[in-house]
């Protein structure tokens, strides 16, 4: 259980520095208010980044980014009405519904992703909730992917406690279930399941011993206050999610959000990443969907602000993602280590070049 209040924003000095207990700022805490989140968000940009980077350094290798790969194992035809999603059966988006993928095809894709430098393999199915016969198949996939030496994550919609337990027993590491947005804005986006349904599924995953991947989406027409409300919701869960994906909405024609969406100001995105890093100091913050819209410079700023995970691969479910070569090139130029670097066929990635050969004489 996290301490209810290890530090308060009032403890920050006039320059945004921690007036007391710098170490306390590294401790996960709950009881965050939206006003505290707003106070952080409103700090002068250099002070905010300084805070976030300091906390990042105390909890993670600041020069490493985690790599994950995401595969849609069952696409489209979803009965939910998430207003941003190309896979909802309620909207005419041109996405064709498919059946659950074949086991061997999923495992082969995971193996290719691993060989290309993915540490975690995430499998997504467009369901309201899995049927037990489908869950049997997903459990087999999880066990096989785990056997490849990868971390495993699935996102299958709402789960019962018993289903969460079965996934855990199959070797699943993470369950992804996003809160998507603030409680206030939620009803503008989804009506077929409640925020409480989501919180219940997260609780079932936790009770089963699974780690939680939970974040949301920006750029759907929400206000900054909604984004901060979402971060406060995440930071006040009984335990902080181990992974916090921050998605920028990827344009999809034919969904309700396309009428009100506005791409966030890049600086606003960096501020949000920094606030997430400060509020959830030990969570991995993933710069998720929407990177195809981001310049290299914006992504670099996000990494400095505390983002330390990306999805690699050309496609994220049904939308585009930067190509793996572009990611490898960017991380190389930034001197950031990742499994992408280590997967280079010539073995001469950044990490290898920066590490002196064993036995090399110091001069
Ligand atoms: S986000 Fe998930 S639950 Fe919502 S419509 Fe898309 S596939 Fe279905």
Domains of the chain with bracketed CATH: 57-343 (3.20.20.70)
pLDDT at 3 over 60: no
Model pLDDT, residue 55 = 96
Model pLDDT, residue 327 = 87
Model pLDDT, residue 261 = 81
Query: Considering 7, 29, 30, 78, which one is annotated as catalytic?
Result: 78
For the residues 17-22, what does the mean pLDDT come to?
42
For ligand 1, the distance from its centroid to the CA atom of residue 303, given in whole angstroms, is 28
Does residue 349 line the site of ligand 1, with CB under 6 A? no
Does residue 83 line the site of ligand 1, with CB under 6 A? no
**Distance of CA 107 to CAs 71, 73, 146, 219, Å?**
11, 11, 10, 34
For ligand 1, the distance from its centroid to the CA atom of residue 80, given in whole angstroms, is 6
Q: How confident is the model at residue 353 (pLDDT cuts 50, 70, 90)?
A: very low
Residue 165 phi/psi, 5-degree rounding, is: -65, -40
Testing ligand 1's pocket by substitution, the residue of 72, 79, 87, 193 carrying the most ligand atoms inside 8 A of its CB is 87
The pLDDT tens digits for 218-266 are 999 999 999 999 999 999 999 999 999 999 998 889 999 998 888 899 9
Strand partners of residue 70: 122
Model pLDDT, residue 318 = 66
pLDDT at 5 over 50: no
For ligand 1, what atom is nearest to the CA of residue 88? 5
For ligand 1, what atom is nearest to the CA of residue 190? 4
Testing ligand 1's pocket by substitution, the residue of 72, 81, 82 carrying the most ligand atoms inside 8 A of its CB is 82
Percentage of the chain with pLDDT > 70?
85
Model pLDDT, residue 23 = 44
The pLDDT tens digits for 316-336 are 666 666 678 888 889 999 999
**135-139, 277-281, 313-317, 346-350: the lowest-pLDDT one:** 346-350
pLDDT at 345 over 70: no
Classify strands 307-312 and 319-320 as parallel, antiparallel or unpaired.
Answer: unpaired
Query: Considering 7, 29, 120, 153, which one is annotated as catalytic?
Result: 153
Cα separation, 306 vs 274, in Å, equals: 6
The pLDDT tens digits for 298-318 are 999 999 999 999 988 766 666
Does residue 85 have an active-site annotation? yes
CA-CA-CA-CA torsion sign (236, 238, 241, 247): negative
In sequence order, the 6+-apart residues with CB closer than 8 A to the CB of 176 are 122, 124, 153, 154, 155, 213, 214, 243, 245
For ligand 1, the distance from its centroid to the CA atom of residue 83, given in whole angstroms, is 9
Does residue 213 have an active-site annotation? yes
For the residues 279-301, what does the mean pLDDT come to?
94
Q: Looking at ligand 1, which residue's alpha carbon is closest to its atom 5?
A: 88
The pLDDT tens digits for 30-66 are 889 999 999 999 999 999 999 999 999 999 999 999 9
Does residue 324 line the site of ligand 1, with CB under 6 A? no
């Amino acid at each position: 259980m996290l301490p209810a209040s290890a530090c308060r924003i009032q403890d920050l000095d006039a320059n945004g520095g921690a007036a007391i207990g710098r170490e306390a700022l590294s401790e996960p805490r709950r009881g965050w208010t939206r006003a505290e989140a707003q106070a952080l968000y409103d700090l002068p940009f250099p002070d905010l980044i300084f805070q976030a980077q300091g906390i990042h350094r105390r909890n993670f290798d600041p020069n490493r980014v985690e790599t994950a790969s995401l595969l849609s194992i069952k696409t489209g035809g979803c009965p939910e009405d998430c207003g941003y999603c190309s896979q909802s059966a309620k909207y005419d988006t041109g996405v064709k519904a498919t059946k659950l993928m074949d086991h061997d095809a999923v495992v082969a894709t995971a193996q290719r992703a691993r060989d290309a430098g993915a540490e975690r393999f995430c499998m997504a199915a467009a369901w309201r909730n899995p049927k037990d016969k489908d869950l049997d198949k997903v459990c087999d996939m999880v066990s096989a992917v785990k056997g490849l030496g990868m971390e495993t994550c699935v996102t299958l919609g709402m789960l019962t406690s018993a289903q969460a337990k079965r996934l855990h027993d199959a070797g699943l590491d993470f369950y992804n279930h996003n809160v998507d947005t603030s409680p206030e804005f939620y009803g503008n986006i989804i009506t077929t399941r409640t925020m409480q349904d989501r919180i219940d599924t997260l609780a079932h995953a936790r009770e089963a011993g699974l780690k939680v991947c939970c974040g949301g989406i920006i750029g759907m027409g929400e206000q900054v206050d909604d984004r901060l409300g979402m971060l406060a919701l995440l930071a006040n869960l009984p335990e902080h999610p181990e992974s916090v994906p921050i998605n920028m909405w990827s344009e999809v024609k034919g969904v309700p959000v396309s009428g009100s969406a506005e791409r966030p100001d890049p600086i606003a995105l960096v501020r949000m990443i920094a606030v997430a890093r400060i509020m959830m100091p030990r969570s991995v913050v993933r710069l998720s969907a929407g990177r195809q819209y981001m310049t290299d410079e914006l992504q670099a700023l996000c990494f400095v602000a505390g983002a330390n995970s990306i999805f690699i691969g050309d496609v994220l479910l049904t939308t585009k993602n930067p190509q793996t070569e572009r990611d490898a090139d960017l991380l190389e130029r930034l001197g950031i280590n990742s499994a992408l670097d280590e997967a280079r066929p010539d073995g001469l990635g950044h990490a290898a070049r920066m590490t002196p050969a064993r036995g090399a004489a110091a001069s």
